[in-house]
Amino acid sequence: MKKFSWLILIIGILFTACNKGFDRLLEDREYVDTTGVTGKQPKILFLVIDGARGESVRKAQGANLLALADNAIYSWNSVSDTLHLTATGWADLLTGVRKEKHGVVKSDFSDNKLSQYPVIFKYIKDRMPAFRVAAYSSSDSLGKMLITDADVNRTFGNDDNATRQAILDELKIDTAGLVFGQFHQVAVAGNNYGYDISIPEYKNAILQIDDYIGDIMDALRRRKSYSQENWLVIITSGNGGSYQISPDEDDGTILSNPKINTFTIFYSTRYMPSFIDRPYTGARYTGKSVRLYGKTAAEAVYATIDKGKEDLNLGKTNQVTIALKIKKNKTIYGDYSYTYPNIIGNNLSLDWWKNTGWSMSLETNAWGVHYGQSGAGFNMVTGANISDGKWHDLTAVFLNRDNKRFIRLFTDGNFNTEQEITSYGNFDTDAPLTLGWVPGNVVDDNRWLNANITEIRFWRAALPDSVIKAYVCADELPSSHPYRDYLIGYWPCRDGFGGVFKDQSEYQHDFVLHGAYQWDDFNDLMCPSTATNLTQLVPQPVDVARQILNWLQIAADTRWQMDGRVWVTPYATI
């Protein structure tokens, strides 16, 4: 009996101790049950519009496409494969790998590797055998040569309206899972008339497809089970089309190629809007400048400073920074490869190895500085490649450090190289400071400059690396520049008239133009983007397959070697 009493006591203590734990429970509150939302069945509507150039689709202002933007990840500047082949675009979209893997590089699909890199329908059916996949193609070759592993695969002999009707009928089926549709009449209009909405036939073809998309989206939303389904709608093009865009739209990068300019829309009612804009590829640089060129004194256009040139001497120990902007023009051979023509310098001759002085010059595809002195020898130091027809900012810094003298080169603000020049002595000469042509015993036509030069800046100071980089993309020298007071010469060379390049520094040493010069308008790209691959910053066809698998919660197997990425945005709802 005594033992039983102790047992009762122990149980009571334990019960009391356990009750204290309930003090930590959350207070009563109302919760929202999200299981019905997260349990929605993921489904895909995937529409491809051949030949729909992204910029044209944007400018066409189709009401139904634009309406999707409020709940979409979208871009009017996505890009397709540079091969610009319709079959390659289809294969990229449907396999998720590039042509180097799937091997579709011919319109007849010959020599492909689709058995190794199949259409993603195979991966979907392997993981979800009961999931219905239906493909409706306006182009017969797509359905016959590429589509596999679909429950339904029908083609309609380039009849887009028949394709539209088949998609509408498919959306009436309760078990519809992935609905693929491809339209071709926009590409037909582009091929026949041109790929731009300034052409009525092309614009009308885009707006017709926009009407079809409106019908299809209405049918999707009318599904009886729509509220229990989680649809991702993908609308894109596999390639653009050839069209001569205006110079203002051409930044010289792959993004300005109309043939591969596409659009991409990933739409879901769950998505917050996410616009993927055209990546920054550089600033516009505009004005008037003089092209400096010529092989002989009689035909050359060049400029010199004769009076007061001694104010610009480098001497033996002067710390000086020389910077300018230059755009190389093509040689007579159609390339940008030059053999040492003078850009700016005080060397008496193009045969620089015979004379005292210095010369900033073109070095085949790059640029550099020649320097030397009779008796002390001659040498050169080379910067980066600037052979792309764009404006580049070149900087040479002469500085003293640890009782030695050095020259440092920078291209577009990026450090290239440094070389010690202590033993070469004084670089001053009696020659004028010259932009462009200097005499010489020349047999190679590539020894002659053909370039536009602007924004020449001389500082009596060795500018720090950080300052060089910070101001390299400025189209003119700002009054806030920290070394403005050290200027001993500043020539914008964009005066637009007259026979001199005016010096805007207090020294007022103007460059005098020689030859049959003329002031020409320019509107070009300056300071191109440092991105190593601009295409990674916008959607590509290979991304679509990854987006589909991710939506269906199918993890991409590494053995599939897929090339695309998944684009994400915050959810408006869960």
Which pair of tokens denotes residue 515? 């030859």
User: Measured between alpha carbons, how far is 496 from 320 in angstroms, rounded to an integer?
Assistant: 28
Give the count of beta carbons closer than 10 Å to the beta carbon of residue 242: 14
What stretch(es) of the chain map to CATH 2.60.120.200?
284-526
The region, left, alpha or beta by phi > 0 then psi within -120 to 50, assigned to residue 334 is left
- Please tell me the predicted confidence (pLDDT) of residue 573: 64
CATH of 284-526, one of 3.40.50.300, 2.60.120.200, 3.40.50.880, 3.30.70.260: 2.60.120.200
pLDDT digits (tens, 9 = 90+) for 132-155: 999 999 999 999 999 999 999 999
What stretch(es) of the chain map to CATH 3.40.720.10?
39-281+531-560
User: Measured between alpha carbons, how far is 428 from 511 in angstroms, rounded to an integer?
Assistant: 18
Which pair of tokens denotes residue 509? 């040493």
Q: Which residue has the tokens 């190289």?
A: 417
Strand ranges for 374-526 from DSSP E: 377-382, 391-401, 404-411, 414-420, 433-435, 450-459, 487-491, 500-501, 511-514, 519-526
pLDDT digits (tens, 9 = 90+) for 258-282: 999 999 999 999 999 999 988 767 6
Whether the Cβ atoms of residue 208 and residue 60 lie closer than 8 Å to each other:
no
- Please tell me the predicted confidence (pLDDT) of residue 390: 84
Q: Which CATH class is domain 39-281+531-560?
A: alpha beta
From the first residue on, what is the mean pLDDT of each consecutive set of 10 residues in the chain (574 residues)? Answer: 41 39 31 43 97 96 95 95 93 97 96 96 97 98 96 97 98 97 97 96 98 98 96 96 81 82 96 88 83 88 92 92 94 77 84 78 91 81 90 96 96 95 90 89 70 96 96 90 95 95 95 96 73 77 96 94 92 71
User: Measured between alpha carbons, how far is 142 from 144 in angstroms, rounded to an integer?
Assistant: 6
Q: Closest Cα partner for 569 from 197, 198, 72, 89?
A: 72
pLDDT digits (tens, 9 = 90+) for 189-230: 999 999 999 999 999 999 999 999 999 999 999 999 999 999
User: Measured between alpha carbons, how far is 7 from 57 in angstroms, rounded to an integer?
Assistant: 82
- pTM, rounded to two decimals: 0.65
Edge to edge, what strands does the sheet with 152-155 contain?
152-155, 132-137, 176-183, 41-49, 229-236, 261-267, 72-79, 274-275
Q: Closest Cα partner for 292 from 520, 526, 477?
A: 520
